[in-house]
Protein backbone atom coordinates (compact mmCIF):
# COMPACT_ATOMS: atom_id res chain seq x y z
CA UNK A 1 0.00 0.00 0.00
CA UNK A 2 2.87 2.37 0.86
CA UNK A 3 4.47 1.82 -2.60
CA UNK A 4 1.19 2.66 -4.34
CA UNK A 5 0.87 5.90 -2.40
CA UNK A 6 4.47 6.85 -3.17
CA UNK A 7 3.93 6.09 -6.87
CA UNK A 8 0.73 8.17 -6.88
CA UNK A 9 2.50 11.10 -5.19
CA UNK A 10 5.38 10.88 -7.67
CA UNK A 11 3.04 10.79 -10.69
CA UNK A 12 0.99 13.67 -9.28
CA UNK A 13 4.17 15.72 -8.83
CA UNK A 14 5.31 15.07 -12.42
CA UNK A 15 1.89 15.59 -14.04
CA UNK A 16 2.27 19.36 -14.60
CA UNK A 17 5.67 18.81 -16.23
CA UNK A 18 4.42 16.04 -18.49
CA UNK A 19 1.11 17.66 -19.49
CA UNK A 20 2.20 21.28 -19.67
CA UNK A 21 5.73 21.11 -21.07
CA UNK A 22 6.45 24.30 -22.98
CA UNK A 23 9.37 26.02 -24.67
CA UNK A 24 10.65 29.57 -24.94
CA UNK A 25 11.74 30.68 -28.40
CA UNK A 26 13.95 33.72 -28.98
CA UNK A 27 14.03 35.34 -32.41
CA UNK A 28 16.80 37.74 -33.42
CA UNK A 29 17.41 39.62 -36.66
CA UNK A 30 19.50 42.33 -38.30
CA UNK A 31 18.25 45.37 -40.17
CA UNK A 32 20.26 48.36 -41.32
CA UNK A 33 17.43 50.62 -42.48
CA UNK A 34 17.30 53.74 -40.31
CA UNK A 35 13.92 54.93 -41.58
CA UNK A 36 11.76 52.21 -40.04
CA UNK A 37 9.59 52.61 -36.94
CA UNK A 38 9.69 49.02 -35.68
CA UNK A 39 8.99 45.35 -36.36
CA UNK A 40 6.10 42.92 -36.31
CA UNK A 41 6.60 39.23 -35.59
CA UNK A 42 4.09 36.66 -36.82
CA UNK A 43 3.78 33.06 -35.60
CA UNK A 44 1.69 30.29 -37.11
CA UNK A 45 1.34 26.53 -37.05
CA UNK A 46 0.91 26.52 -40.84
CA UNK A 47 3.71 27.41 -43.20
CA UNK A 48 3.08 30.61 -45.17
CA UNK A 49 -0.22 31.46 -43.45
CA UNK A 50 -0.10 34.47 -41.13
CA UNK A 51 -2.81 36.75 -39.80
CA UNK A 52 -1.65 40.29 -40.66
CA UNK A 53 -4.23 41.68 -38.23
CA UNK A 54 -2.83 39.68 -35.31
CA UNK A 55 0.97 39.78 -34.98
CA UNK A 56 2.48 37.75 -32.14
CA UNK A 57 4.66 40.73 -31.17
CA UNK A 58 4.97 44.38 -32.13
CA UNK A 59 8.28 46.04 -31.39
CA UNK A 60 7.98 49.83 -31.61
CA UNK A 61 11.70 50.54 -31.38
CA UNK A 62 13.86 49.89 -34.47
CA UNK A 63 16.91 49.34 -32.24
CA UNK A 64 15.34 46.31 -30.55
CA UNK A 65 16.02 43.33 -32.80
CA UNK A 66 15.11 40.41 -30.60
CA UNK A 67 11.95 39.03 -29.05
CA UNK A 68 11.19 35.98 -26.92
CA UNK A 69 7.92 34.09 -27.04
CA UNK A 70 7.43 32.28 -23.74
CA UNK A 71 5.72 29.03 -22.82
CA UNK A 72 4.92 27.81 -26.32
CA UNK A 73 3.29 24.35 -26.24
CA UNK A 74 4.90 21.45 -28.08
CA UNK A 75 4.31 21.42 -31.84
CA UNK A 76 5.67 22.79 -35.10
CA UNK A 77 5.71 26.57 -35.47
CA UNK A 78 6.65 29.03 -38.21
CA UNK A 79 7.76 32.65 -37.82
CA UNK A 80 8.31 35.65 -40.06
CA UNK A 81 9.26 39.23 -39.24
CA UNK A 82 8.29 42.43 -41.03
CA UNK A 83 9.54 45.98 -40.65
CA UNK A 84 7.08 48.85 -40.58
CA UNK A 85 7.27 52.59 -40.96
CA UNK A 86 4.73 55.03 -39.62
CA UNK A 87 4.14 58.09 -41.79
CA UNK A 88 2.92 61.15 -39.92
CA UNK A 89 0.87 63.26 -42.35
CA UNK A 90 -0.38 66.81 -41.90
CA UNK A 91 -2.13 67.74 -38.68
CA UNK A 92 -5.59 66.25 -38.35
CA UNK A 93 -4.99 63.31 -40.70
CA UNK A 94 -4.51 59.74 -39.43
CA UNK A 95 -1.07 58.17 -39.46
CA UNK A 96 -0.33 55.71 -42.24
CA UNK A 97 1.66 52.54 -41.69
CA UNK A 98 3.66 50.85 -44.43
CA UNK A 99 4.81 47.30 -43.77
CA UNK A 100 7.53 45.35 -45.57
CA UNK A 101 7.09 41.90 -47.00
CA UNK A 102 7.81 38.85 -44.87
CA UNK A 103 11.32 37.91 -43.92
CA UNK A 104 12.48 34.41 -44.65
CA UNK A 105 10.30 31.92 -42.81
CA UNK A 106 11.87 29.94 -39.99
CA UNK A 107 10.47 26.86 -38.33
CA UNK A 108 10.97 25.05 -35.05
CA UNK A 109 9.70 21.65 -33.99
CA UNK A 110 9.22 22.05 -30.27
CA UNK A 111 9.31 18.92 -28.19
CA UNK A 112 10.15 19.41 -24.56
CA UNK A 113 11.36 16.64 -22.34
CA UNK A 114 9.89 16.23 -18.86
CA UNK A 115 13.20 14.70 -17.81
CA UNK A 116 15.23 17.85 -18.53
CA UNK A 117 15.33 20.95 -16.33
CA UNK A 118 13.23 23.86 -17.71
CA UNK A 119 16.33 25.81 -18.84
CA UNK A 120 17.14 23.00 -21.29
CA UNK A 121 13.78 23.52 -23.06
CA UNK A 122 14.78 26.90 -24.53
CA UNK A 123 15.31 27.27 -28.25
CA UNK A 124 16.95 30.18 -30.07
CA UNK A 125 16.03 30.85 -33.69
CA UNK A 126 17.92 33.45 -35.73
CA UNK A 127 15.91 35.25 -38.40
CA UNK A 128 17.45 37.37 -41.15
CA UNK A 129 15.04 40.11 -42.19
CA UNK A 130 15.21 41.63 -45.63
CA UNK A 131 13.50 44.98 -45.26
CA UNK A 132 11.81 46.43 -48.32
CA UNK A 133 10.60 49.89 -47.43
CA UNK A 134 8.61 51.81 -49.99
CATH top-level class of 22-126: mainly beta
Q: Per-domain residue ranges for the chain?
A: 22-126
The pLDDT value given to residue 25 = 84
pLDDT at 18 over 60: no
As beta bridge partners, residue 54 has none
Segment 78-91 shows an average pLDDT of 88
Euclidean distance between CA atoms 127 and 49, whole angstroms: 17
Out of 6-15, 45-54, 85-94, which region has the weakest mean confidence (pLDDT)?
A: 6-15
pLDDT at 2 over 80: no
Per-residue model confidence as pLDDT tens digits over 37-46:
999 999 999 9
The pLDDT value given to residue 9 = 37
Per-residue model confidence as pLDDT tens digits over 33-75:
778 899 999 999 999 999 989 999 999 999 998 898 888 888 8
Considering the chain, what percentage of its residues have pLDDT values greater than 90? Answer: 28
3-state secondary structure 54-72: CCCEEECCCCCCEEEEEEE
Euclidean distance between CA atoms 48 and 128, whole angstroms: 16
Segment 86-90 shows an average pLDDT of 83
Amino acid sequence: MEKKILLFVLLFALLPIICFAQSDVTLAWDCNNATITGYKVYRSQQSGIYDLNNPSSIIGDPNIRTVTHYKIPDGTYYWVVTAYREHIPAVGLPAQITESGYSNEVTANLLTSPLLPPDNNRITVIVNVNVNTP
